[in-house]
Amino acid sequence: MPVDKGDFILVNYIVKVLDGEEKVIDTTLEEVARESGIYRENSVYGPELVIVGENFLLSAVEETIIGMNEGEEKEIVLEPKDAFGERDPNNIKVYSARIFSQRGVIPRVGEEIEVEGRRGRIIRVGGGRVTVDFNHPYAGRKVSFKVKVEKILKREEEKISELFHRWFRTISREDINVKIDRNTAKIGVPLTIFNVEGAYILINGFSRDITKYIKDIDEIKIEETITIERPKREDVVAESSGEDLDAGKTKTTENSEGAEATQPQQ
């Protein structure tokens, strides 16, 4: 069944900028990231959740995905206006270097910085002035987007699990166990959830997603699983048998040395 608007799907993708030096700038595939020199140690690679039509990806890409089948792959080339936008000279601003020195910041060309609530890149420093470019780094360039629909999610449990994984990327899909009981979603997760920075904020984000995208769920219960490591019964039996055998050997030795050897010393 082809992908339709509103569907929950898992996709892998490779994004390249064109017009000049062609290079990979983003991907869900670890091997491609390593080969392209953009691998990030703290990133989690693998298929990514997309709710088609909700701008999880560039809108032009999501429009292309509509009608694709599970397992199908497409590559499209996006014009700048459909990718990261055209370069706008009005997005380049000049500031007094004093603004930065008052904040204890030493401006350097190429560094990203936040000014007036906007993030930009410093492109020039000199004469007591700092020039900041607020255009996207790849604005004005064509982009190649290669996308593959890995799976179309049908079951509500799968959708909820993927929404949770979207917020808690460091918790593997295999460790997220979702069960639905009427209007309640019970989500079993490992204790490592407490190691995730800002876990409470992430849970709030996840609950907002449930409110927006899963209409029949009115309650969420997050249940941590504690695994208690105990020795197996056969190991305990074997250990006990070994102790009895050692005790028997000691007793035999004592008896062979005579009655005096079996008497406790006073």
pLDDT band at 1 (very low <50, low <70, confident <90, very high): confident
Strand 8-17 with 48-51, pairing: antiparallel
The H helix count followed by the E strand count for the chain is 7, 12
The hierarchical CATH code for the domain 89-133 is 2.40.10.330
Ordered by start, the domain boundaries in the chain are: 1-82+141-153, 89-133, 233-258
Mean pLDDT of 215-233: 85
Give the C-alpha distances (Å, rounded to integers) separating 79 from 64, 67, 133, 148, 261: 14, 22, 21, 20, 97
The candidate with the shortest Cα–Cα distance to 85, out of 143, 27, 133, is 143
Alpha carbon distance 96, 119 (integer Å): 17
> Each residue of 128-183: pLDDT tens digit?
999 999 999 899 999 999 999 999 999 999 999 999 999 999 999 999 999 999 99
Alpha carbon distance 208, 206 (integer Å): 5
Query: φ, ψ for residue 80 (rounded to 5)?
Result: -50, -40
49 C-beta neighbours (distance < 10 Å), count: 20
Q: Who's near 110: CB < 8 A, 6+ residues apart?
A: 121, 122
Q: How many CA atoms lie within 13 A of 225 on its CB side?
A: 12
pLDDT band at 239 (very low <50, low <70, confident <90, very high): low
Task: Read off the DSSP letter of residue 213.
Answer: H
> Each residue of 53-81: pLDDT tens digit?
999 999 999 999 999 999 999 999 999 99
Q: Who's near 46: CB < 8 A, 6+ residues apart?
A: 12, 28, 30, 173
Q: Determine the pLDDT at residue 241.
A: 61
pLDDT at 264 over 50: no
The hierarchical CATH code for the domain 1-82+141-153 is 3.10.50.40
152 phi-psi bin (left φ>0, alpha ψ -120 to 50, beta other): beta
Percent of the chain at pLDDT > 70 equals 87
Mean pLDDT of 40-60: 94
Q: Determine the pLDDT at residue 248.
A: 52
Mean pLDDT of 183-207: 93
